[in-house]
Amino acid sequence: MTTLSEFRSDVRSLGNFPANDTRITDAVVNREVNRALKRIALLHDWPWLDAERTYITAADVTAYPLPSDFLRAVSFRYPEGRKSLTLINIQELDDLYGNGDPWVYAVRGAKIHIGPVPSGEKTLKLRYIRQEIVLVNDNDAPLIPDHYSDGVSEAALVQLHRIANQPDMAGLAEARFQVWRTETRDNTTQTSSQPSIRVRPGGQI
């Protein structure tokens, strides 16, 4: 996997930013690499960020903790092909009354809320998109595969050229990033067969 140090070297080489540049310091490059990773994560349900967690409900408990790396939900369903719960807003969920098998859910803060109020144990599977890893140390590597890492460099260069007051170069980097985005999205949508990351359930929550 491409490390933070390698991203930094790549960005400096592509952007022609020498190591002694007083505006484009290592700290600035590191920050923009992490912002690029976050930007990419928000664009699409990338297969390398796909994960799954199993929940077991408890009677009269409607709120359960989200995974610590949760970014957004893809689906919340009963196992073995049974129906999916419907995502609604938290205000609609608060208006539900009664007990029964949950059929709706909402996300608020660090918890996932279900309704109606479960009357006992039910198994539910949350498929979600993970947050990218924040790179801190030089040997830290993100989740994005190596063969897609050029998009990270291009997205970082957009902001670095702006910081360096090079709007034309920033525009070119943005154009290259948009080409990368389209090609990578189409490629992963058509060819991905990577299974979800299975997060070991912690039993009843």
More confident residue, 84 or 81: 84
Indicate if the alpha-carbon torsion angle 15, 146, 33, 162 is positive or negative.
Answer: positive
pLDDT at 204 over 50: no
Predicted local distance difference test score (pLDDT) of residue 157: 98
> Which helix (H) or strand (E) element contains residue 42?
helix 26-43
At 203, is the pLDDT very low, low, confident or very high (cuts 50, 70, 90)?
A: very low
H-state helical runs in 2-25: 4-15
Predicted local distance difference test score (pLDDT) of residue 112: 97
Whole-angstrom Cα distance, residue 30 to residue 42?
A: 19
Average the pLDDT over 139-167 and give the result: 96
Whole-angstrom Cα distance, residue 109 to residue 131?
A: 15
At 190, is the pLDDT very low, low, confident or very high (cuts 50, 70, 90)?
A: low
Predicted local distance difference test score (pLDDT) of residue 196: 41
At 200, is the pLDDT very low, low, confident or very high (cuts 50, 70, 90)?
A: very low
> Which helix (H) or strand (E) element contains residue 91?
helix 90-94
pLDDT at 202 over 60: no
Nearest 5 degrees, angle CA 42-CA 110-CA 108? 80
**Tens of pLDDT along 109-130?**
999 999 999 999 999 999 999 9
pTM: 0.84
More confident residue, 195 or 148: 148
More confident residue, 31 or 96: 31
Average pLDDT, the chain: 90
Predicted local distance difference test score (pLDDT) of residue 197: 39
> Which helix (H) or strand (E) element contains residue 177?
helix 167-191
Predicted local distance difference test score (pLDDT) of residue 1: 86
Average the pLDDT over 177-196 and give the result: 75
Whole-angstrom Cα distance, residue 158 to residue 167?
A: 9
pLDDT at 188 over 90: no
